[in-house]
Each structure stands twice: as structure tokens, then as C-alpha cells.
């Protein structure tokens, strides 16, 4: 294969109050025609900055591409260094030659224009065709990316589409000018495994049809195994390892690569804790990586637990009375039409659901987006009022409680939300955010005692007490999730619903947070309902798994039974969609 894109010595940084910070440090790699190159690494490793540098989309100031070359070899333009092309001419390369799918489609699509108009605009701008021809091509693209009802989708606004559908619109827009290079920046993050699988299959199909070269950016090595020919591993702005996908998976050389591979929950083993980066690397005071000379096999072997251990644990768990009983719960939402809001039907988000949760148990709740998982969790806590059924917590029927009695009960019943940033007040320091629920429930007597408790909780979730006076925007996603966990623990609950609480985290940060949740469960005697669309995560952390589809529990059983011996076709489809790696 001929080299299409050749990057040498690329460096990009940003001017900050602390000085110039280098985000991408003297990296080199190449992309061949028809090849898929995977770039993997954690948040902050420089993956997205690399892609934005190739597209020349780094805002200046504060950003600056400070060195290197990006040689693009094309039939139309010959060989050009994209870093030396004037900005006006660079617009001819964006979209026509090199196109990009961004991580969050909702923030990339204009909410006031229809999806059809936005793709048509890109075609008219780059291809100089009539509006009628652009509309025809857009409809063909919507059919090609397998959007349902493509004619209706042309007239639909972004908010009317699901996450997977919006991502298909972004792919259609990116492919509208038949680019030679497609950069996909985390295009499947936070999507259901089934939707993720269809998006990956779609990208492969389009690549084969059009001969497109793809740079696929992700933190998930399981996805890379499914889609990439070669891999570049990034860590703190540097490429620490490159190779074929087979070599990276079967013979990883760098300790950081080994850590990334090991952090994803294994499906064929039962572990007491997930491996984390600490098992493979340590950093010196100068920031240099120091390898801990352990293989992935050695680390996993040291954490593996026997089935006898699991069996003994089950005897203790299920010989107790349930802490929570849900009986025939229903939460329906009306569908209204017309100027008078006449009800024409109902969305049965939770439809006649019954389940039990036992003290000290983690019950996993899985299913695709829209299946009712989150609505069920919030209905149990009465954050959404159910229309029918019973919720019995420690012998008390929660739906019969008045507002004041329910407020007191919330001390025992907490929730950790999917998006920690949205659930924290940006105007409150994290110390105040954790202290506030203690004041509401009159815990620990005085604010001085409460501040001491906040510092203890911060330390317990792996944050330094000095962080008390910082605001949420000053923390990473993983740190904000720890803050949300500390806030939930502040009122000393017994039962916590974790709603997609690790879905958007890097695999290594995800592993650390899952281990923390397990440790806290054991230390504080907690019980969880753990909601997720990721079956590999749920299998690791759960004692039992309940599978939800279209508002109903379709299957429930022990975690390994659900994975190894699923009874329902829907469950089998969820399992088949999990990226398995090599």
C-alpha cells in the first residue's frame, strides 16, 4: 500500500497561565491507502489534539502547532505539507480530501437546521452542485448509512434522533465528498454495544466501497481489535508503541500498552479487582515511566477468584431477606398531539417490572438506550413518580410515604448519575457540594465536624483533602466521578443506584472507579443497582444481572449464567456485540 499521510515530528501545545503546555510531543506516524490506523490512549494523551492538528483546527491563540510536517500525497494536489498550506486553500482539503467525525454528534450538528439541510450544505460548499442534486445525494447517503426512514430523517432536527442515528448523520456528512482520509474521533463512546457494533460495521463497509483510509481514535482497545490494521499507542503526548494490531495485542512491549489491555474487564474470568495502571507502571519524580516487570497473565492470575469462593458468597447473600422488593412497577409517559395536548397513547418506559435486591448484593441492570433502565432506577427512588406497583424498602412501602417521610428516607437511598459534571453545582466548591447533604440531614452536629468528614471522604475516594476548595471544572472526568461518589456517601446510605456511572470513562479510570465501588461496598456494607449498557463491565461487578428490553425485565440470573448461557435472543445479541479483542 502507498503512504497517503506521512506525519513527522509533529508538536502542538497551548499557552496557559502556567506557561506553554505541550500536548503532542514530536510524534511521527504514517497512514497508507485503504488502511485503518487506530490511535489509542487515555484522555489527555494527545489523541484528539493530533487529529485536530492534521485538520489544522487548532485555535490560535491559545493553541499552536510548534513543529513538524504533515505530508499529504494526493492525485489531485500532488505532495503537499498541510502545515504550510494557506488557511484559505486549506478549506479545499477539509471535507474534500480529509474529513472528520467528532466524538459528540449533538455538539457538532446545528440544532436549528434539519439533518438533511446540514449534509446538503457540505455538499454544495465543496462540490458546487445545485440544491436539487445535493438533496438527491444526501438522500442516497442517508440510505447508504442505513438510517431508518431516510426521507423523514432529511426533515428531522438533531434532537429528534437517537445517539446512534445522529452518529450516522455525522458519518454521512463526513463521507459526502468521498474523502481520501476519514478521521473518527471516539465515534462510538457512550453508545450501546449493539449500536456501536452497527456503526463499526458501517464504517468498514463504507471503507471497502470507497477505499477510504481511516484514523480511528479511541481509548477502547477492544474496538481497535475489531477495526484497525495497525495501532499507535499514545501516553502524555508521546507515541510510546506502534505496530500491527496483532503484534500490539499478542506481544505488547510497553508497560502502558500492557496496562490498557489488562484494564478492560475480562469476560472469561472472575476477578476480585480489575488490573489498573499501577499494576504495570509507576512514575518517577521526573514523570518518567518506570516499568513494573509483570505480564498481563501474572497480574490477572493474582486477582482471579475461584468458583467455590463465589458459591460461598452466594449462600450468605441469598439466605437473607431482600432489602428491596419491586412489584409490578409501571412508569408510563403520555404521547401528546395537537395544540390542546391530547393524549394519543403512552410510552411504557417501565412496564410491570418486578425484582428483588438482597443486602450487600450488586444487581446489574443492562439493556440498550431507551429500554427503561434509567427510568426504572429513578422510579425506585421516586425521582420519577411511578403510576402503579409497589416499592418496598426494608419493609416500608415507599409509594405510600408523604413528602417529608420520603425526604428522610433519601438518607438511605442515593444515586450516582452518569454525568458527574451536570450533577455538581459549578458555583460550589467540591467541599461544599459534599458537605451540603450532611447539613440537609443534620448529620455530625457542626459544620466543623462535617468538614472533617468531607476530608475523610475525599481521602477515601482517592482525592487529596487540599482539593476541598476547588470547583468541578478543575477536575478530570474520573475525578469528578469520585467526587459524586463521595457526595453520595456523605449521608451514610445503605442503598445506591449507579446510573451509567463509568460509561464515558477511559478503561483505566473505569477500572479504578469500579474497584473503588467494590471496596466501598465491602467497607460500608452497601447494596447497589448498577445500570449500564456495557455487559463486560456489568459481568465483572455484579452478582446477578437483569436484562431489560422495551420497559420489561426479559431475563435475570447469576452474572456468568447470563453471559455463558443466555436464554433470550435479545441477551444473546447484546453479548455478541461486545468487542472481544483478538
Residues 231-261 have pLDDT tens digits of 999 988 999 999 999 999 888 888 888 888 8
pLDDT of 567 above 90: yes
Mean pLDDT of 534-547: 91
Structure-block grid coordinates of residue 424 = 455538581
- How far is Cα 183 from Cα 484, in angstroms, rounded to an integer? 33
In a domain? residue 393: yes
Task: Reply yes or no on whether the pLDDT at 123 is more than 70.
Answer: yes
**Mapping DSSP to helix (H, G, I), strand (E, B) and coil, where does residue 255 land?**
helix
DSSP state of 265: P
222 and 92, same structural domain? Answer: yes
Instruction: Tell whether 514 and 388 lie within a shared domain.
Output: yes
Alpha helices in 501-534 (DSSP H): 507-524
The winner for highest mean pLDDT among 217-226, 272-281, 319-328, 329-338 is 319-328
Place 204 in a pLDDT band, splitting at 50, 70 and 90. confident
Kindly report, residue by residue over 81-102, the tens digit of the pLDDT.
999 888 888 888 887 788 888 7
316 Cβ contact partners less than 8 Å away, ≥ 6 residues apart? 360
Question: Do 263 and 335 share a domain, yes or no?
Answer: no
Residue 173 pLDDT greater than 80, yes or no: yes
The better pLDDT of the pair 376, 190 is held by: 376
Which letter does DSSP use for residue 147 in this model? -
Mean per-residue pLDDT, 462-489:
85
Identify whether residues 508 and 530 lie together within a single domain.
yes
Give yes or no for a contact between 372 and 345, defined as CB atoms under 8 angstroms apart. no
Sign of torsion over alpha carbons 194, 200, 202, 204: negative
Q: Average pLDDT in the 544-556 region?
A: 94
The set of cell numbers assigned to 425 is 453545582
Residue 135 lies in a domain: no
pLDDT given at position 150:
87
Q: How far apart are CA 15 and CA 35, in angstroms?
A: 35
Classify residue 503: in a domain, yes or no. Answer: yes
Report the C-alpha gap between 35 and 215 in whole angstroms: 8
Clarify whether residues 257 and 400 are in a common domain: no
In the chain, the number of structural domains is 4
Q: Starting at the earlier edge strand, list the strands of the sheet with 3-16.
A: 19-32, 3-16, 63-74, 78-81
Q: Is residue 394 part of a domain?
A: yes
Structural domain range at position 79: 1-97+218-251
Q: How far is CA 312 from the centre of its chain?
A: 34
Query: What are the phi and psi torsion angles at 580 (to 5°)?
Result: -95, -15
**Residue 347 lies inside a defined structural domain of this protein:** yes
Name residue, grid cell 464515558: 504
State whether the Cα torsion 198-501-497-161 is positive or negative.
negative
- How much is the pLDDT for 327? 96
Instruction: Give the residues across from 37 on adjacent strands.
Output: 215, 230
Confirm whether 154 is domain-assigned. Answer: no
Question: Are 424 and 478 found together in one domain?
Answer: yes
Q: Say yes or no: 525 and 391 in one domain.
A: yes
Q: Which residues pair with 557 in a beta bridge?
A: 545
Amino acid at each position: 500500500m502507498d503512504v497517503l499521510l506521512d506525519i513527522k515530528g509533529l508538536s502542538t501545545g497551548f499557552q496557559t497561565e502556567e506557561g506553554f503546555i505541550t500536548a503532542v510531543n514530536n510524534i511521527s506516524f504514517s497512514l497508507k491507502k485503504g488502511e485503518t490506523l487506530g490511535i489509542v490512549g487515555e484522555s489527555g494523551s494527545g489523541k484528539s489534539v493530533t487529529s485536530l492538528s492534521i485538520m489544522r483546527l487548532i485555535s490560535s491563540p491559545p493553541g499552536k502547532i510548534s513543529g513538524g510536517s504533515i505530508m499529504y500525497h494526493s492525485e489531485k494536489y500532488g505532495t503537499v505539507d498541510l502545515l504550510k498550506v494557506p488557511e484559505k486553500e486549506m478549506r479545499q482539503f477539509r471535507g474534500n480530501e480529509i474529513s472528520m467525525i467528532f466524538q459528540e454528534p449533538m455538539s457538532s450538528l446545528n440544532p436549528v437546521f434539519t439533518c438533511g439541510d446540514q449534509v446538503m450544505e457540505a455538499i454544495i460548499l465543496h462540490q458546487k452542485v445545485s440544491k436539487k442534486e445535493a438533496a438527491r445525494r444526501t438522500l442516497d447517503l442517508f440510505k447508504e448509512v442505513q438510517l431508518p426512514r431516510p426521507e423523514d430523517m432529511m426533515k428531522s432536527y438533531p434532537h429528534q434522533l437517537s445517539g446512534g442515528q445522529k452518529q450516522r448523520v455525522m458519518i454521512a456528512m463526513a463521507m459526502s465528498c468521498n474523502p481520501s482520509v476519514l478521521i473518527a474521533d471516539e465515534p462510538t463512546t457512550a453508545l450501546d454495544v449493539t449500536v456501536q457494533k452497527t456503526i463499526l460495521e458501517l464504517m468498514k463497509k463504507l471503507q471497502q466501497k470507497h477505499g477510504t483510509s481511516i484514523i480511528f481514535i479511541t481509548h477502547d482497545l477492544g474496538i481497535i481489535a475489531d477495526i484497525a490494521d495497525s495501532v499507535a499507542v499514545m501516553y502524555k503526548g508521546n507515541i510510546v508503541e506502534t505496530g500491527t494490531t496483532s503484534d500490539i495485542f499478542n506481544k505488547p512491549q510497553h508497560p502502558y500498552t500492557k496496562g490498557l489491555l489488562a484494564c478492560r474487564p475480562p469476560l472469561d474470568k472472575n476477578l476480585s479487582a480489575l488490573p489498573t495502571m499501577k499494576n504495570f507502571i509507576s512514575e518517577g519524580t521526573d514523570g518518567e515511566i518506570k516499568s513494573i516487570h509483570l505480564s498481563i497473565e501474572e497480574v490477572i492470575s493474582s486477582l482471579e477468584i475461584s468458583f467455590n469462593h463465589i458459591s460461598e458468597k452466594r449462600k450468605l447473600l441469598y439466605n437473607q431477606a431482600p432489602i428491596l422488593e419491586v412489584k409490578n412497577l409501571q412508569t408510563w409517559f403520555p404521547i401528546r398531539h395537537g395544540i390542546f395536548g391530547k393524549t394519543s397513547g403512552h410510552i411504557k418506559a417501565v412496564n410491570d417490572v418486578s425484582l428483588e435486591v438482597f443486602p450487600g448484593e450488586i444487581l446489574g441492570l443492562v439493556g440498550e438506550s431507551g429500554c427503561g433502565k434509567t427510568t426504572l432506577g429513578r422510579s425506585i427512588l421516586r425521582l420519577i413518580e411511578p403510576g402503579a406497583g409497589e416499592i418496598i424498602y426494608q419493609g416500608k412501602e415507599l409509594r405510600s410515604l408523604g413528602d417529608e417521610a420520603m425526604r428522610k428516607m433519601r438518607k438511605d437511598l442515593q444515586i450516582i448519575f452518569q454525568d458527574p459534571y451536570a450533577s455538581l453545582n459549578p458555583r460550589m466548591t467540591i467541599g461544599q457540594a459534599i458537605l451540603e447533604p450532611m447539613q440537609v440531614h443534620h448529620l455530625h452536629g457542626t459544620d466543623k465536624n462535617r468538614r472533617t468528614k468531607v476530608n475523610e471522604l475525599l481521602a477515601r475516594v482517592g482525592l487529596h483533602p487540599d482539593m476541598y476548595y476547588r470547583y468541578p471544572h478543575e477536575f478530570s472526568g474520573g475525578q469528578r466521578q469520585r467526587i459524586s461518589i463521595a457526595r453520595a456517601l456523605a449521608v451514610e446510605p445503605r442503598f445506591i443506584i449507579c446510573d451509567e456511572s463509568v460509561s464515558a470513562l477511559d478503561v483505566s479510570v473505569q477500572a479504578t472507579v469500579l474497584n473503588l465501588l467494590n471496596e466501598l461496598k465491602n467497607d460500608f456494607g452497601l447494596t447497589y443497582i448498577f445500570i449500564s449498557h456495557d455487559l463486560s463491565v456489568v459481568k465483572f461487578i455484579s452478582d446477578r444481572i437483569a436484562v431489560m428490553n422495551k420497559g420489561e425485565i426479559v431475563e435475570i440470573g447469576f452474572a456468568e449464567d447470563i453471559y455463558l448461557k443466555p436464554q433470550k435472543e435479545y441477551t444473546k445479541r447484546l453479548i455478541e456485540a461486545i468487542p472481544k479483542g483478538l
